[in-house]
A and B are shown apart, each in its own frame.
Chain A
C-alpha cells in the first residue's frame, strides 16, 4: 500500500525539485498530446521552450519580448504575493491594472501635447494612485464593514472594465479618430512614450520597475519589521494580534501595495507596448499574475522566474501555432498542464510517499 506521510519539516530538496519535475512531466504528457494532434512532439517542445530564446530566426525579436510579456506579470504578482502571505486575497488586480492605465493615460492626455519632462513622472504617479485607490475600496470595506475582499475586489474588475469601455469610446477617445473608440496612441507622442531604454533588449521602464519590485519585496519580507508582521499575520493571526500588529493596518498596507503595483503595470503597458487605451486593453495580466504568484511560491525570486517561464510558454506557444499549426486550445491545455503538475508534485514538499503494511488503527 502506498500512503502519504506528512514530513516533519517541508523538504528543501523538493522545493527545488518539484518545479523541474513538473516541467519534465509537462514536456512528456504535452509531447504525447502534440503527437496525437499530428505534430512532431520533439519539434513542438523545442519550439515552445527553446526557439523563443535561441532560434536564429525568431530569438532576435522574441527574447526581448519575453521581458515585455513577463514585466507586468512579475510586477503585479509581487504585489499580490505580499498580500497572499498575510492571508489577504486580492483577486481584483485586473481591475487595478485597468484603473492604473486609465488614470495614468488620462493625466497625460489632459495635458496633450505637452513635451515637459515632468509629464511622464506625473502620469506614473497618477497611474500608481489609480490602482491604489481602486484597491482601497475593498480594503476600507473590509476594515470598516468586514466585507470579504475576494468578492469585492473581483466584482470591481467588472466595474473597471465598464469604465474602460466608456473611457475608450468616450472621455479618452482620440478626437482625431473619426468616432472610432480608442485613445490617442502614445507611440506617436515621444515625450511620454515608454519605449525600449536600450534598443533590442525589450527593457522598458515597466521591466525596470518589475526588477526593483522584486528586490524591494525581498528586502521587505526578509529584513523589514513590516515584512515580519505581514508573514506573522498570515501564518498565525492570533499571535500577530498579541504581538501588537494592527490587522486593519496590514490589510490597508497589503491591498495598497498590490493595487499600486498593478496600477503601475497598467500605466507602463498603456504608454509602452499597448500604446493606447482601447476597449480590450486588458489582456488578463491581473488574473495570470495570480498564477505567477503561486507558481513562484510567493517568493520574490521565484516570482521572477515564474513570470519568465509563463512568458516563455505564451510566446513559445504562439510560435508553435505559427510554425507547426498546433491549435491554440492545445497550447492553453499545455499551460494548464504545467500548473497542474506543479501543484501535484508540490505535495512531495510536505509529504513523503511511504510503502507501508496495513497498520492497526
Chain B
C-alpha cells in the first residue's frame, strides 16, 4: 500500500512534467560526478551530451546535474530528474549503481543507463568502455620511454575497471622493458585535484618519470609539467593543453555515438536493456595523438598495436600470464574470458603491493 501511494504521487507528477517539455520529443538527463570543467571524465560525458543534442537538432532536450555525490544524495538527484520529465537518464559514475536501480524500480517508463556498473534491470542498461585497451598502448610507450624504470600510477578505487588498467599497462611496459617497476597510489577519489596533485608529486619524488592516472582532473599533468622530464597520458579526455610534454598521448572516451544511438532507440521505441562494453574497435575508446616527444619507432610500434587491437588481431590480456602469487592464469596464446575481466580483483605477476581490501 505504501509504495502504491508514492507511485501515484510520482506518476501524477510525471504526467505534469511531460507537459512542461512538450515542445521537444524526448528529454535526456545526465548525472555527473564532477563538473564539465574537470577536463577529463565528466568533460567528455558533457561533450558527448552536447554532440548528441546537436545531432537531434532541437528534437531532444538535455538536462544535467553536476557534482552529485555517490551517497544518499544520488538517489534524490536521479528521482528529481525523472520527475522533471526525463525519458532517459544517464548516470555516469560507478557509485550510482544502487541508487540508479532503486529509482528505476519506481519509474518503469523511464529508461536508465548506468556507466561502468554491472547490475541491469528491465529499464536499466549498463555501458562502459574497454579502457584497458588504451592502457596497453600507454604501457608500451611508458616502458620504452622511462629512464628511471619507475612508473607511478594514480589509481582511484580498487574496482575491476581500475585493476584491469593497472595490469594492462604493466604487462605491456614489462614486455618492452623487463626492468620496469610500478608504484600504485590509491587516491580513493575520482576527482580531487589537490589529492591527485599530491599523489603525482609523491610519485615523482620517489623517482617515477612516468605518471599514469585513473583519476579525472588535469592536476597530475600540471604537477608533471612543473617537475619537468616526466611524461603523462591524458585520462578520459585528450588533455591536449599539456602536449607535447608532459602529455605524450591519451585515452579519450567518446560516448557520443552511444548516446545518439540510445536516445534514437528511445525515440523509435526500440530501447532495450543491454550490456555494452566497447573498445577501440567501435571508437568508444580513442587514442589521442602521440606527441613528438615520443621517438618515431616507439610511435610506430604503438600505432601498430592500436591497429592490431582495432582489428581484433591482438588482445591485451593474452597468455602466458601468471597471477601475482605466481599461479598460472592464462596459457600461451590464451586470452582472458569476459567474466574474469569483468570481475578482475588480482594483480598480474610482477606488480608489487596488494590490491587494497
B327 at interface by CB-CB < 8 Å = no
Known A-B contacts A199-B6, A322-B65; the reply to A173 vs B357 at CB < 8 A is yes
Known A-B contacts A57-B16, A173-B357, A199-B6; the reply to A322 vs B71 at CB < 8 A is no
Pick from B66, B81, B83: contact of A57, CB under 8 Å: B83
Contact A200 B70 (CB under 8 A): no
The residue in chain B whose Cβ has the minimal distance to the Cβ of A185 is: B98
Contact A318 B65 (CB under 8 A): yes
Q: With the chains together, A165 CA to B356 CA distance in Å?
A: 9
Chain B 64-87, CB-CB to A under 8 Å as 1, else 0, gives 111101111101110111011000
The residue in chain A whose Cβ has the minimal distance to the Cβ of B63 is: A322
Chain A 64-88, CB-CB to B under 8 Å as 1, else 0, gives 0100110000000000000000000
A108 → B minimal CB distance (Å): 17
A10 at interface by CB-CB < 8 Å = no
Contact A328 B65 (CB under 8 A): yes
Chain B 270-281, CB-CB to A under 8 Å as 1, else 0, gives 000000000000
Contact A318 B356 (CB under 8 A): no
The residue in chain A whose Cβ has the minimal distance to the Cβ of B99 is: A275
Most buried by A among B6, B70, B71, B357: B71
Contact A278 B71 (CB under 8 A): yes
A343 at interface by CB-CB < 8 Å = no
CB proximity to A under 8 Å, residues B1-22: 1-3, 5-6, 9-10, 12-13, 16-17, 20
Pick from B70, B79, B160: contact of A280, CB under 8 Å: B70
B16 → A minimal CB distance (Å): 5
B315 → A minimal CB distance (Å): 21
Pick from B5, B80, B344: contact of A318, CB under 8 Å: B80
Cβ–Cβ < 8 Å partners of A319 in chain B: 80
Contact A180 B118 (CB under 8 A): yes
Contact B77 A318 (CB under 8 A): yes
Most buried by A among B17, B80, B94, B357: B80
Cβ–Cβ < 8 Å partners of A169 in chain B: 157-158, 356-357
A279 at interface by CB-CB < 8 Å = yes
A143 at interface by CB-CB < 8 Å = no
A19 → B minimal CB distance (Å): 25
A contacts with B, residue count (CB < 8 A): 48
Q: With the chains together, A1 CA to B1 CA distance in Å?
A: 68
B350 at interface by CB-CB < 8 Å = no
A221 at interface by CB-CB < 8 Å = no
CB proximity to B under 8 Å, residues A217-273: 269, 272-273
Pick from B1, B12, B345: contact of A179, CB under 8 Å: B345
A312 → B minimal CB distance (Å): 13
A38 at interface by CB-CB < 8 Å = no
Contact A278 B5 (CB under 8 A): no
Q: With the chains together, A284 CA to B73 CA distance in Å?
A: 11
B35 at interface by CB-CB < 8 Å = yes
A179 → B minimal CB distance (Å): 4
Cβ–Cβ < 8 Å partners of B5 in chain A: 199-200
Contact B16 A329 (CB under 8 A): no
Cβ–Cβ < 8 Å partners of B356 in chain A: 165-166, 169-170
Known A-B contacts A179-B160, A185-B98, A269-B72; the reply to A61 vs B343 at CB < 8 A is no
B contacts with A, residue count (CB < 8 A): 49
B267 at interface by CB-CB < 8 Å = no
Q: With the chains together, A165 CA to B84 CA distance in Å?
A: 34
Pick from B20, B66, B72, B84: contact of A328, CB under 8 Å: B66
A315 at interface by CB-CB < 8 Å = yes
Contact A283 B65 (CB under 8 A): no
A117 → B minimal CB distance (Å): 19
Cβ–Cβ < 8 Å partners of A178 in chain B: 118, 160, 342-343
Cβ–Cβ < 8 Å partners of A284 in chain B: 69
B159 at interface by CB-CB < 8 Å = yes
A304 → B minimal CB distance (Å): 20
Cβ–Cβ < 8 Å partners of B343 in chain A: 178-179
A121 at interface by CB-CB < 8 Å = no
Contact B10 A274 (CB under 8 A): no
A224 → B minimal CB distance (Å): 34
Contact A279 B342 (CB under 8 A): no
Q: With the chains together, A61 CA to B78 CA distance in Å?
A: 12
B56 at interface by CB-CB < 8 Å = no
Cβ–Cβ < 8 Å partners of A322 in chain B: 29, 63, 65, 80-81, 84
B188 at interface by CB-CB < 8 Å = yes
The residue in chain B whose Cβ has the minimal distance to the Cβ of A195 is: B2
Pick from A65, A280, A325: contact of B71, CB under 8 Å: A280
B193 at interface by CB-CB < 8 Å = no
Pick from A65, A165, A166, A180: contact of B76, CB under 8 Å: A65
A294 at interface by CB-CB < 8 Å = no
B102 at interface by CB-CB < 8 Å = yes
Most buried by B among A173, A269, A283: A283
Contact B10 A61 (CB under 8 A): yes
The residue in chain A whose Cβ has the minimal distance to the Cβ of B346 is: A179
Q: With the chains together, A276 CA to B101 CA distance in Å?
A: 14
A282 at interface by CB-CB < 8 Å = yes
Contact B69 A283 (CB under 8 A): yes
Q: With the chains together, A282 CA to B69 CA distance in Å?
A: 9
A196 at interface by CB-CB < 8 Å = yes
Cβ–Cβ < 8 Å partners of A272 in chain B: 72
A281 at interface by CB-CB < 8 Å = yes
Known A-B contacts A57-B83, A315-B76; the reply to A327 vs B66 at CB < 8 A is yes
A-B residue pairs in contact (CB < 8 Å), sample of 6: A165-B356, A166-B356, A181-B158, A275-B72, A321-B65, A327-B66
Can you name 5 extra interface pairs (CB under 8 A) apart from A62-B80, A165-B188?
A: A180-B160, A322-B63, A327-B35, A327-B66, A328-B66
Sorted nearest first, the 9 A-B pairs with minimum C-beta distance are A273-B72, A199-B2, A179-B345, A60-B9, A283-B71, A170-B357, A274-B72, A280-B70, A328-B66
- Chain A residues close to B by CB (< 8 Å): 56-58, 60-62, 65, 68-69, 161, 165-166, 169-170, 173, 178-182, 185, 187, 196, 199-200, 269, 272-276, 278-284, 315, 318-319, 321-323, 325, 327-329
